[in-house]
Copies of this chain bind each other. A is one copy, B any other.
Amino acid sequence: MIFSESAANLRTSEIRDLMSLAGRDDIISFAGGMPDNNLFPINDINDIYNNFTTKEKQIAMQYGPTPGLPSLIESLGQYLKKKGLPVESNKILITTGSLQAINIFSKIFIDPNSPILVENPCFIGAISAFKSYQANIKSIELTKDGINIENLENFLTSSDKKPRFFYFTPNFHNPAGVLYSIDTKKKLIQLFSGQGIPIIEDDVYSDLFFYDEDASHLTPLKSINPQDIDVCYTGSFSKILGPGLRLGWMLVSPTIYEKCELVKQSFDACSPSFTQLIADKFLRTGKVYAYTKAVKEEYKERCLLMSKLLNEQLPDSIHFHTPRGGFYFWLSLPESINATDILKKAIKKGALFVSGKTFDPDGKKDNHIRLSFCNTSKEQIMKGIPKIIESIKELV
């Protein structure tokens, strides 16, 4: 009973409609937030599977411990440590996708009507999880450098009810593509220091940076490791290996870990051993590094091609920043324009995107368009983006 049926329902049916369109051969889809099927490391997976010992194959078929296979927790720990994350003072829990991690956090932090704080726009999976626990979602808009700090400060000082947590995506935000500046991160830490408000940091895209010089901006809050903020960090294998494995993780303080492990146990006992073993080998053999390097190059080329087309052909009243990593362009239309109307036109022309209101926690603000470049070839981009631009021009 504990979920907001009507709101979630609308989203589900919309997504179902979009997905059925996205599967049609005559539609070029910029809607999905999934890696390209043609880019999966199939040969690596073949190698990994064929090198499993019989004992490993047995482990793959068996229940594993609730927190994850010890071998994966170790190899993932090494992987995260290299990225500067405080692995030793925190604990890793393997989850069935990072959405499950968000769900677990929701279960331990939210009571019906609890206020929580998110960015606007916000990842739709998180919105749907938070709503399913009847959270009272407050949101603050994003700027090109991250959350609007001034509005955040106003909110924190004027709000009568302390939010149960702040949920944010610092690196290559979904849908907004934003990479938080170091300055915004520092201000975030100042604002939340000692407030007793945990921060959920959703960092599933940080490995997909296109420019080495951005490395310093990519530091998660969790790596800065502010001592008086409880940062609950979550990441995923979905963008660096494959979402079909359904594997994510959280890195959290031992106190929060204890509660999360209990919830995880009651949710699904453990995540799939079969895919955990694959992910473990993918990390241990170092294949992950060559693979992410290769896919980043491809995504960057697609991104720059899309940027070129949009820059050349979009009306001046449409604003966007070319992302420096991740999967998404986020086009801002004049306030009077409804992206859903544009979507209808685009579908008729044979192209698909997700309209802005999907990512508004209130399901209203609709003057944005999310364009994914993760799941379309350069040829499809060349063919499909003009269809989107034409549709926009008909209404703007």
Contact = CB atoms under 8 A, between A and B. Distances in A.
A266 B2 contact: no
B57 A42 contact: yes
Contacts of A175: none
Given A2-B107, A107-B3, A96 B265 contact: no
A64 B244 contact: yes
Interface in A231-276: 238, 241-246, 258-259, 261-263, 265-275
Contacts of A129: 266-267
B2 A62 contact: no
A242 B61 CA distance: 5
A65 B303 CA distance: 27
Contact of A57 (B45, B54, B262, B266): B45
B110 A244 contact: no
Contacts of A241: 61
Given A128-B266, A267-B267, A37 B8 contact: no
A267 B98 CA distance: 10
A58 interface: yes
A60 B243 CA distance: 9
Given A40-B58, A45-B57, A262-B8, A2 B246 contact: no
* Residue of A238, A262, A263 most packed against chain B (CB within 10 A): A262
A375 to B, nearest CB: 10
Contacts of A266: 3, 8, 99, 103, 125, 128-129, 131-132
A35 B59 CA distance: 11
Interface in A94-117: 96-97, 99-100, 103, 107-111
* Residue of A97, A107, A263, A274 most packed against chain B (CB within 10 A): A274
A12 interface: yes
A129 B265 CA distance: 9
B1 A108 contact: yes
Q: How many copies does the complex hold?
A: 2
B273 A128 contact: no
A5 B40 contact: no
Interface in A4-53: 5, 8-9, 12, 19, 34-35, 37-38, 40, 42, 45-46, 49
Given A60-B244, A259-B5, A269 B38 contact: no
A62 B271 contact: no
A133 interface: yes
B97 A268 contact: yes
A130 to B, nearest CB: 9
Contacts of A131: 266
Contacts of A61: 35, 37, 40, 42, 45, 241-245
B259 A100 contact: no
